[in-house]
Amino acid sequence: MHPLYLEDLIAVCDGLGDVEGLRGKRVLITGITGMIGSCMADALTVLNERRGLGLTIFGVSRNPDRSRERFPGVRLIAADLSDPKGDLPAADIVVHAASNAHPAAFSADPVGTMLGNLLGTRALLEQLRMAGGGRLLFVSTGEIYGENPAVTDGFSETDFGRIDPINPRSCYPESKRAAETLCASYVRQYGVDAVVARLCYIYGPTLSDANTRADAQFLRNALNGEDIVMKSFGTQVRSYAYVTDAIAGLLTILLRGTRGEAYNVSSRLSTASIREYAETLAKLAGVKVRFDLPSEQERQGYSTVTRAVQKGDKLEALGWQPRVALEEGLRRTLSIKREGLR
């Protein structure tokens, strides 16, 4: 494992404090090949080794044979969460991180994006309901807040804004919203233990090469020594968080979050406009930023929200603190991606 990445994972593990609630548990991670799922698997593997917790880690993948070398400490399961057919292993803890999560997928497959979020979440909640125990950590998104110009200092967990339900691009935030409500309904009606994490824009070395988000494209440009191409003026302001900071937040929610509650995972060290993000990355990579008009297909996948800033106070009250500021996180990302994660 790359020494910088291992250093980040160790920092996650050492910063968690008491983790006895995980001892001997069977943990199921969906979306294990994605940015969040893969880093969660790595962090739990390192945590298991350092704390001797006796964890059994399962990972859901549609093509597990391609991932066995990447996840040597994980038992990989072939399953489609939209139609699991009872082939998921029993688990004490479920981290549900599977979802289409980038613009090309939203544009090309809005139906699959919605159904994957809704049916997959229902299948996992049903599994825990039938088992009579266990905890689900649903990985949601700050996109559920939509647009609300009246919120000027960042969204707290009780704020909400406008999302256009007739726009197919809303397939992602609307289905995440509905899946959150499904979690809350299972908590109320069946007593299932579920908590929700609303991620801000996460970046870092586990970012997939297939991801079509703007920041992922910027990173590919930078790694190739090419000028960063912006498809807008980049005035949208966002909360960002380095991926291992996000994983530390998710584990904190898993260990100490209140059943039925939602928590923002958002770093106060990393609020920036898209242009500021691109310029910081360009400076580190020694390239320039230039502008180009997007295609119609690209435009259909873009978020129209102008200010996507989230407050992390509620999560910080559980003991979590962001560790990596934006420039340092981008520097680490470039180094690790250039030299390989493993």
Can you give the pLDDT at residue 105?
82
Can you give the pLDDT at residue 101?
78
Can you give the pLDDT at residue 61?
84
Mean pLDDT, residues 52-80: 89
What is the value of pTM for the model shown? 0.94
| Single-letter code of the amino acid located at 89 | P
On the question of pLDDT at 49 being above 60, the answer is yes
Is-contact 244 12, C-beta < 8 A? yes
Distance CA 215, CA 281 (A): 9
Can you give the pLDDT at residue 212?
81
Return the closest-CA partner of residue 113 out of 42, 168, 34, 67.
168
Distance CA 88, CA 152 (A): 43
117 sits in which H/E element: helix 110-131
pLDDT digits (tens, 9 = 90+) for 247-281: 999 999 999 999 999 999 999 999 999 999 999 99
Query: φ and ψ at 190, to 5 degrees?
Result: -120, -5
Can you give the pLDDT at residue 299?
63
191 Cβ contact partners less than 8 Å away, ≥ 6 residues apart: none
On the question of pLDDT at 56 being above 90, the answer is yes
> Which of these ranges, 52-61, 130-139, 199-208, 299-308, has the smallest mean pLDDT?
299-308
Query: φ and ψ at 202, to 5 degrees?
Result: -100, 135
pLDDT digits (tens, 9 = 90+) for 162-191: 999 999 999 999 999 999 999 999 999 999
Can you give the pLDDT at residue 86?
61
Mean pLDDT, residues 117-121: 94
Distance CA 79, CA 115 (A): 15
Domains of the chain with bracketed CATH: 3-206+240-268+309-325 (3.40.50.720)
Distance CA 48, CA 73 (A): 10
Return the closest-CA partner of residue 186 out of 126, 133, 97.
126
Q: How confident is the model at residue 316 (pLDDT cuts 50, 70, 90)?
A: very high
pLDDT digits (tens, 9 = 90+) for 210-227: 788 888 899 999 999 999
Is-contact 325 280, C-beta < 8 A? no
The CA-based diameter of the chain, rounded to the nearest angstrom, is: 56
**How far, in Å, are 16, 38, 39, 97, 248 from residue 45 at the CA level?**
14, 11, 10, 17, 14
On the question of pLDDT at 317 being above 90, the answer is yes
In 3-state terms, what secondary structure has residue 289? Answer: strand
pLDDT digits (tens, 9 = 90+) for 278-301: 999 999 999 999 988 766 666 655
pLDDT > 90 in the chain, percent: 77
DSSP state of 86: T
97-100 long-range contacts (CB < 8 A, ≥24 apart) are 97/29, 97/30, 97/31, 97/32, 97/34, 97/36, 97/37, 97/40, 97/139, 98/30, 98/31, 98/34, 98/37, 98/60, 99/31, 99/34, 99/139, 99/172, 99/176, 100/172
